[in-house]
Amino acid sequence: MPLISRDIPIRVRYNETDQMGIVHHSNYIFYYEVARTELMRSLGTTYREMEERGVLLVVRDVHSHFIAPAYYDEVLTVRTSINEVPAVKVTFDFEIFNARGELIHTGQVVLACVDKQTRRPKRAPEWFVNMLAE
């Protein structure tokens, strides 16, 4: 059971597709970013606020698993979850569903918490960890 999970709708735009009308693989990383940002916003914070409070979130790992294609003008649902209490890293898991509710893609992004001044890894701030428990 995830600590927190949100569903974010994203409509596939024409410029995100190839000549066959299928979402180009590189765009899934952008979908992760949009969904991650909206999950943070739903918790009551933003990347900007974290940065202003001295924490940068730096991409450490990205994984994508393609199951079926997504198509131009389709409304996808990107389910974004945090499944474990963050320490120095925060792991976001993604499931992407097509308009029929079929799972078409899974992914994961691991972010490292970094001190804005020193650029050294640091523990996730207590206020952020506490937001996940609410």
7 DSSP β-pair partners: 79
The per-residue pLDDT for 1 is: 77
Provide the whole-model pTM: 0.93
Is the model's pLDDT at 75 over the cut of 80? yes
134: confidence class by pLDDT, cuts 50, 70, 90: low
* pLDDT, averaged across the chain: 94
- Catalytic residues, by residue number, are 18
Over 97-129, what HEC string results? ECCCCCEEEEEEEEEEEEECCCCCECCCCHHHH
Query: Does the 4-133 domain belong in CATH 3.10.129.10?
Result: yes
